[in-house]
Chain A
């Protein structure tokens, strides 16, 4: 019995010693020039390298450029910074737009929500979405049928004015009403 306990104590003591060593990594400090040591060069490992390559991109067919903006019979509305509520000016414009849409019930309209470039791309997509929905809700209230209206957010991705100043930013915070094809 005693022997067994001694064995156990030795194991535990040794483990404790090892644990102590693990906790103190030795940092190299420059010492005087070392004496040459027989090389253990046989320890050079070998590896075969073969790089997997990402697939080649096939060119997309030339198609109509979605980025071009066509002249719309409907007027844009604009928003205050970080806001998606409708100003009185916006409401007046929406009333005019609604009238046109009620007169052209078979023409689908896409409400495109946009932001200025400040803020992050991802958060701005959600803000653009709110702006588009804001416009859609009001138009619905004015009697435009739901089926006629689609919404999409472009966030800050399609600025009307590429400038980097207050003037450009104000123009970019908008809902644009595109005739959907």
Chain B
């Protein structure tokens, strides 16, 4: 009997079997994850997709025209994403009344003839105030079902349900989570003074969330998407406010003499970087906790240091400083406070925002009397210009790092626009009265 040797053999057998099991599992996963839209590819070929009219599957008549609302939101979202070419419904061959929504009832050539490679079908049913909606995604080319989802909720939440479906469609086709459940916080003068507002990514559900009747500026999201910090002159000085969006409660967390401005949450949600001028009258970067207690002073320099933005790993902060004579973008390593200058072209580079993917920093550069949006790698190289029309500032990244929202006056007054991270598909977001500025994209 040689027990040691037996143990050895057993262990190796287990490892072997585990290895085989893992490989088989992984192979199955990979086989299922066909990439329909390779969003990493530099050439943006839009995928032709058809959205069939959603059917009323229930007995309650569709008085609110839910069907056309659903279709409208899906079309708008897919077009905003910049990844799809939505096929004109007027060219459809299929008879919507006769056709079903499951693949056994689909005539694939009806769809491939009109150029579709992907197809969305679905239905809904109403019951008093509640709504059930289901959507199914098909691969027209291979003639098969890809995925489907059914949602239950209130009729009032229709927009959210459809946005969730669109997110699912895009996830199935790209392997990545999309933007349609995210929101934008921004500043608007719609009520007469600058207040903080929220809206969906498509500009709908605009809602004012402050009532300071003063000047509110520079909102910043907490990483859990439930709170905002922002500066307000409500008490006569630019103080830092902390607000819980869903409960509504608000408090001042930093009211030092002088400036309490340009806040940014750390990625772990425990600290806020901001600019204070209290210590020597000079604008410097500080870290504070969520109660406003000063944790650390980050910069010590005669220049004005402002507009911090954290790297997604929380180790660095990009910011604006005029220590070299004019506003430029710098990167600070929090651990040792070392600072590296990133921008050397142009004499006014500001509003840096670090991409949540970590791969880029967006910023705006003033040339003449107007701004444009640029991106660069985190070491300052590979500078790309993204805008040309009008004056464009204050870029903010979508949480998946694929889109930017920014402010522009290209159509006269200041409104908000979205574009892909490479500058393509620039579109204005539906707007209301007044001027909209300072957009920040929710996590």
Contact = CB atoms under 8 A, between A and B. Distances in A.
Interface of A: 4, 7-8, 10-11, 14-15, 17-18, 21-22, 25-28, 30-31, 33-41, 43-60, 63, 65-67, 82, 118-123, 125-127, 129-130, 133, 151-154, 157-158
Interface stretch (B146-154, B353-361, B373-381): B146-154
Nearest to A121: B217
Given A39-B102, A39-B104, A39-B145, A54 B194 contact: no
B112 A153 contact: no
A121 B117 contact: no
A157 B151 CA distance: 45
B271 to A, nearest CB: 19
A47 B164 contact: yes
Interface string B262-298: 1000000000000101000101000000000000000
A129 B259 contact: yes
Given A30-B117, A54-B198, A125 B306 contact: yes
Nearest to B233: A66
Contact of A127 (B141, B142, B304, B394): B304
B134 interface: yes
B246 A52 contact: yes
Nearest to B237: A152
Given A55-B248, A57-B211, A126-B304, A41 B27 contact: no
Given A45-B150, A48-B153, 5 more contacts: A4-B9, A36-B103, A120-B320, A120-B364, A129-B259
Given A34-B141, A37-B103, A55-B245, A47 B326 contact: no
Contact of B350 (A65, A67, A123, A152): A123
A54 B259 contact: no
Contact of B23 (A18, A36, A49, A57): A18
A122 B160 contact: no
Nearest to A19: B26
Given A54-B246, A151-B258, A36 B160 contact: no
A122 B102 contact: no
Nearest to A28: B36
15 contacts: A18-B26, A18-B27, A28-B35, A33-B143, A40-B145, A47-B150, A48-B151, A51-B160, A54-B207, A66-B213, A119-B350, A120-B327, A121-B437, A129-B277, A154-B233
B410 interface: no
A14 B19 contact: yes
B34 A28 contact: yes
A118 B145 CA distance: 54
Nearest to B41: A27
- Which of A40, A66, A158 has the most chain B CB atoms inside 10 A of its CB? A66
A36 B246 contact: no
Where chain B touches its partner, the secondary structure class is mixed
A125 B263 CA distance: 13
A158 to B, nearest CB: 8
Nearest to B307: A122
Contacts of A52: 246
Contacts of A7: 12-13, 16
A15 to B, nearest CB: 7
B279 to A, nearest CB: 13
In the A-B complex, the 5 residue pairs with the smallest Cβ-Cβ separation, listed nearest first, are A55-B248, A34-B143, A49-B153, A44-B148, A126-B304
B91 interface: no
B173 to A, nearest CB: 9
A54 to B, nearest CB: 5
Interface string B174-210: 0000000000000000000110001000000001111
A41 B152 contact: no
Interface in B223-254: 233, 236-238, 244-248
Contacts of B157: 49-51
Interface string B379-414: 000000000000001100000000000000000000
Contacts of A55: 209, 244-248
A40 B394 CA distance: 47
B330 interface: no
B417 interface: no
